[in-house]
Structure 1
């Protein structure tokens, strides 16, 4: 499992849900991990410590560009390097908030990280299967922000290829988290769209991220990986 030994990863929005699981799985694979959070990161900090890896929690709102730049700099100051950026922070709300976090926040974090990422570095953006297909009404603005993130992934992959930095995107479908529980009121409508007949687990998303961040992702860049149970098939 120690495919990320000696690496340092920053996971934005890493205090809960998919982000917290990504942080723990990257640590299980050998990485030291930093997370940004807005409220409380104590649970993920303890979970990462339980893997034996070092952890750093940074209070930073992804909508605050200065805070995101500072967070990246703090990771480098604390660990001496950064090898992996996972742009996980995301919100559902009004368009301004979603654009500030889902798109601009990811761009600012990537721009800051690129100043430090070495050859072999990784940027993994967490999008949504809605970036590619919108199977229901009422989610246009959110889907639009994730589609913009998808375009950013493609462009950055070309921009950074000569530096040996790979940029990819993981597009989850319905995933069982506090924000979208598999037994919640909106679950039946979503389940009807999923050929595999169940919600995804956060760990299934995180393992995909770990693959892309490690040696398995050496020849993967400029693409999105669907982890959605077949919804977009």
Structure 2
């Protein structure tokens, strides 16, 4: 089933989409680009490049949505010439006719967005020489990976819209999917979300957020970064 969305321009000039059923935006209205850049690229990807400097990165995204996080990651992978294998799940993908109207390629000077959205589901698709995309049309409750991840972008809709995606058992599941030293980043810093992450065995760090967002979270799985024990489930 496709999501029912409408596009809006955020304060930094980049698009976001409003999920009509949930009445929630996919990104901050104060700036979709600046939010994704801060939460997922600066706090997540660039740190993962440093922590796991001698291996290809495996990244999991909860909520492919507009494709902005994947697009920014593909750009950085090519810039840094680091191989990234990127798995994204979305139970209700954005319709292609809406995705084609997103302005991210024009805004960023890239040319990946249509390919990201047009790529076949459940297949490994090479987007550029350093970025491979696997999209899965499934819920997080039913999905189970065949490999662990160095980094998780947790970009689910807000707890007010989908509280079931912020419960302790979800974070326990995600913690199991991470390599030792792996990280999870998210825009949501609510106290009970932090408690649920800690209950899953993750170490929670609060960091300054993007514009109009005081705090965001990076949760780290204890252990030595670079340890590749038990890579396959």
TM range (shorter): 0.3 to 0.5
TM-score normalised by length of structure 1: 0.43
Choose between structure 1 and 2: higher strand proportion: 2
TM-score normalised by length of structure 2: 0.43
Choose between structure 1 and 2: higher helix proportion: 1
